[in-house]
Amino acid sequence: MFKYFLSKSPTFQSLRLIQTGVQGAASKYEKAYINGQWTSAISGKYFEVSNPSNGKVVAEVPDMGVPDAQIAIDSAFSAFQNWKNTTAKDRSQILRRWYNLLVENQSKIAHILTAESGKPLLEAKGEVVYGNSFVEWFSELSRQVRGEIIESSVPSKKILIHHQPIGVVGLITPWNFPHAMIARKAAAALSVGCTVVIKPAEDTPLTAIEMIKYAEEAGFPPGVINIITSSRDNAADVGKLLCENHLVAGISFTGSTTVGRILYRQCANGIKRLGLELGGNAPLIVFKSANLDTAVDSALVSKFRNCGQTCVAANRFLVQEDVFDAFVEKLVSKVQLLKMGDGFQNGVQLGPLINEQQLNKVTDFVHDATSKGAKVIIGGKPANYLGELFYEPTVLTGITSDMKVYTEEIFGPVISIIKFKTEEEAINISNSCDVGLAGYFFSEDISQIFRVSKNLETGMVGVNEGLISCAEAPFGGIKQSGLGREGSHLGTEDYTYIKYTCIGNLS
């Protein structure tokens, strides 16, 4: 069933055709948002956004390039001159209105998210709730950013410390969490007085566009929030401009370590403020003292959320030899019950991989492992009977250090299980990589809990828990997993600089 509706946006009074049935989510044509105006690309070109579950085109969005991005940067810089002088209370109130609108429309946003990403609708709804929590958090934190008055050693001087917004920030966000990553970055930057230019992933721009419609309705002034949509052909050039343009003060990026390195180099000449949330290779350790039922249930959530396509997904399963067989048996019994399919179908827990490149990578990883002696306990092949981008939930044992699943991030629904003997061995294997985002372990030994959490070389640790991210906690990694922290009271630090003022010759 179809219906016409008039957009509420005062600057986008166009009739849009949307499908309102179970799979209804987005319009045929969308526009980007620059300087308070809904606009097409200067070139007039569009690119298609498809549902990975069935390959059907969901919408077409502007294929913007460097000229469009430059206009967005200029608009953000101009808007910053006023936005930086708004009060924390004013910014807090606008952010709160944005949060309220996102909550009111979270079901619609979730449908759009499922249509373009393929993740199950229930999971999409969870992401929207999670993402919204950051907008709420930073709307409240906006009024809590405090400076200091430091006691001077000279009686005639006063030392004042306060935080100021850095300026225009480029936000480059990934396809696996198209709502949450924008919310987590944009809300933090906006809360302290920065303006933003958002470049969402080319696979999932529709959720971003929908979010910005509510930001406009909330009352953000023109130019404070801008969104540019680009196809793969233009994405690299647009990213380069954001990194190298002198009007952009900072970049926040979530994505692969490979791309993060490129952006790091591109930001070097300008010595820009840089926040990088990059790839991981998360260990999940099951010690012999663990509650195996808790470990299995938590492992399923950590591994198979978004079909394994999360940076904090458990990647290397390390199980102590005393409980290895029991854990594998319990795990497989749960894995075989997982339901795959179109994200709009009731009861679906696993959707498709995002694109053909991702499917080929997962297929290659499993083939590499089996060719070197790994044993497939369950799964191990594409689920072509469901669609072109589906891959069966897979469990592999007999993993050795020469396999890709041992050394590289899988980013798919594949569990590789390694048997270990001692705690020291497990720690050594866990730390034997150049990334360190998240790590998980399961133990009922309190001494072991403190020992292992200290010795794991990761920015985040989940103990007897597979879901660890929330607005109140700092999210980020060490080593080549990135720079900076998102969320928590630390989440604004990437977007402010510290100004020291010395007032002298006081009587």
pLDDT tens for each residue of 415-439: 999 999 999 999 999 999 999 999 9
Specify the residue for token string 């609708």. Answer: 121
Q: What is the mean pLDDT of residues 452-481?
A: 97
* 236-260 burial code (b ≥16 CB/10 A, e <16): eebbebbbebebbbbbbbbbebebb
36: in domain: yes
> How high is the pLDDT of residue 51?
97
Are 418 and 490 within one domain?
no
- What Rg do the C-alpha atoms of the chain give, in angstroms? 24
Annotated catalytic residues are 277
Residue 14, pLDDT > 70, answer no
> How high is the pLDDT of residue 8?
32
> How high is the pLDDT of residue 2?
23
257: in domain: yes
Are 437 and 492 within one domain?
no
Are 235 and 192 within one domain?
yes
72-95 pLDDT, tens digit each? 999 999 999 999 999 999 999 999
Residue 350, pLDDT > 70, answer yes
Are 178 and 302 within one domain?
no
The closest of 235, 224, 240 to 189, measured between CA atoms, is 224
Are 343 and 264 within one domain?
no
> How high is the pLDDT of residue 145?
93
Are 236 and 270 within one domain?
yes
Q: What is the mean pLDDT of residues 373-385?
A: 97
Question: Could you tell me if 226 and 200 are in contact, meaning their C-beta atoms sit under 8 angstroms apart?
Answer: no
165-217 pLDDT, tens digit each? 999 999 999 999 999 999 999 999 999 999 999 999 999 999 999 999 999 99
478-501 pLDDT, tens digit each? 999 999 999 999 999 999 999 999
Grade residue 27 by pLDDT with cuts at 50, 70 and 90: low
The closest of 46, 24, 14, 239 to 116, measured between CA atoms, is 24
Are 293 and 426 within one domain?
yes
Give the chain's largest Cα–Cα span: 83
* CATH number (domain holding residue 412): 3.40.309.10
Residue 12, pLDDT > 50, answer no
Residue 22, pLDDT > 80, answer no
Grade residue 16 by pLDDT with cuts at 50, 70 and 90: very low
> How high is the pLDDT of residue 108?
97
Report the SS3 class of residue 223: coil
* CATH number (domain holding residue 107): 3.40.605.10
242-275 pLDDT, tens digit each? 999 999 999 999 999 999 999 999 999 999 999 9
218: in domain: yes
16: in domain: no
Grade residue 30 by pLDDT with cuts at 50, 70 and 90: confident
- Total structural domains in the chain? 2
Residue 34, pLDDT > 50, answer yes
How far apart are the C-alpha atoms of 255 and 431, rounded to whole Å?
21
Question: Could you tell me if 130 and 103 are in contact, meaning their C-beta atoms sit under 8 angstroms apart?
Answer: no
Are 184 and 50 within one domain?
yes
Average pLDDT score over the chain: 93
Are 331 and 359 within one domain?
yes
Specify the residue for token string 């980007």. Answer: 32
Q: Which domain holds residue 115?
A: 22-278+485-497
How far apart are the C-alpha atoms of 325 and 321, rounded to whole Å?
8
Percent residues over pLDDT 90 in the chain: 94
122-179 pLDDT, tens digit each? 999 999 999 999 999 999 999 999 999 999 999 999 999 999 999 999 999 999 999 9
> How high is the pLDDT of residue 24?
45
12: in domain: no
316: in domain: yes
Are 244 and 340 within one domain?
no
Are 187 and 234 within one domain?
yes
Grade residue 20 by pLDDT with cuts at 50, 70 and 90: very low
Q: Which residues pair with 270 in a beta bridge?
A: none
Are 259 and 110 within one domain?
yes
Q: Is the torsion defined by CA of 307, 311, 315, 320 positive or negative?
A: negative
171: in domain: yes
Q: What is the mean pLDDT of residues 8-28?
A: 37
> How high is the pLDDT of residue 25?
46
Please return the burial class of 68, using the count of CB atoms within 10 Å of its CB with bins 0-12, 13-18 and 19+.
Answer: buried
14: in domain: no
